[in-house]
Amino acid sequence: MASNSALLSFRTPPPSGSYAQICFPTPQVLLVIFNRPKSLNCINIPSHWELHALFEWYDSEPSLRAAVVTGTGRAFCAGADLKEWDIQNSSGDRGVSRRDMPASGFGALSRRAGKKPVIAAVNGLAYGGGMEMCTNLDLVIASKSATFALPEVKRGVVAIAGALPRIVRTIGRQRAMEMALTGRTVSAMEAQSWGLVNAVVEDASADSDIMDRPVTAKALEYANMIASNSPDAVIVSREGIKMGWEGVGAEEGSRLLMEIWWKRLSEGENMKEGVRAFVEKRNPDWLGSKL
């Protein structure tokens, strides 16, 4: 479900879907709301593809510069729909194709490379696939009562959607082993001390609207800070950090940024506009990125 999109001008309309609600708190920011609260926002197979289409659209839409994801109810996302898995196992269907996710991974986020930043507003529990998504997102904001876990080992399965090789780069070998091998729950404050969470905010009241939650407000604050910058510079800066995180050496990453990305950046209008606005002592008027 999309709300207030009629007030905005997009090159193509957002894709439709039943799992997530979307809205646009400001013209340049997409808010994605996981909306299966009775199932703790578990994600079933069709919903991975729905979300993949949505984030592909987000990356291709020039007017959008940052995105925030959050969940309805008391969960951010409790992971995979194990009832769906149980039905498949009971029917004898263990074919990989039935469980395949898009290349972008769980919820289209756990292995997403993407072009533009996505911020998690973790309003409650983030378990399994929910945690795997957080591991690969650009910023993570959490409510004080939010919790994180990789409990797959307790169910005889494995966190195979991308978190295991990624989380070790964020929190270190021993902490990553602790989460993956024990399956224990980690609090928001502990996750922040480990470097997994950027900021922890107060919990919302029980009857708060999603837009009134402190965690949503803080995530949108970050999103709007990002959206106020050059969209070209944000994309290239994010690319440079990703290269280092994914194991490209510092010198090789610098070479790639200079040889591939700097040329594209300097030929664009936004770099010229940023310099011109500084000289003229005014706020820049950014154009939608063509990168």
Cross-strand partners of 43: 80
Closest CA to 58 of 104, 124, 125: 104
Q: Give the strands of the sheet with 118-122, arranged side by side.
A: 20-26, 29-34, 66-71, 118-122, 139-143, 199-201
Count CB neighbours of 148 within 10 A.
26
The answer to whether the beta carbons of residues 50 and 19 sit under 8 Å apart is yes
C-alpha span between 40 and 136 (Å, rounded): 20
Q: Which two tokens stand for residue 219?
A: 């995530």
Residue of 61, 84, 132, 273 marked active site: 132
Per-residue burial over 125-146, b if 16 or more Cβ lie within 10 Å, else e, is: bbbbbbbbbbbbbbbbbbbeeb
In the residue annotation, 152 being an active-site residue is answered as: yes
The verdict on whether 178 is a catalytic residue reads no
**Catalytic member of 152, 267, 269, 273:** 152
CB-based contacts of 39, cutoff 8 Å, min separation 6: 78, 81
Residues annotated catalytic, as ranges: 132, 152
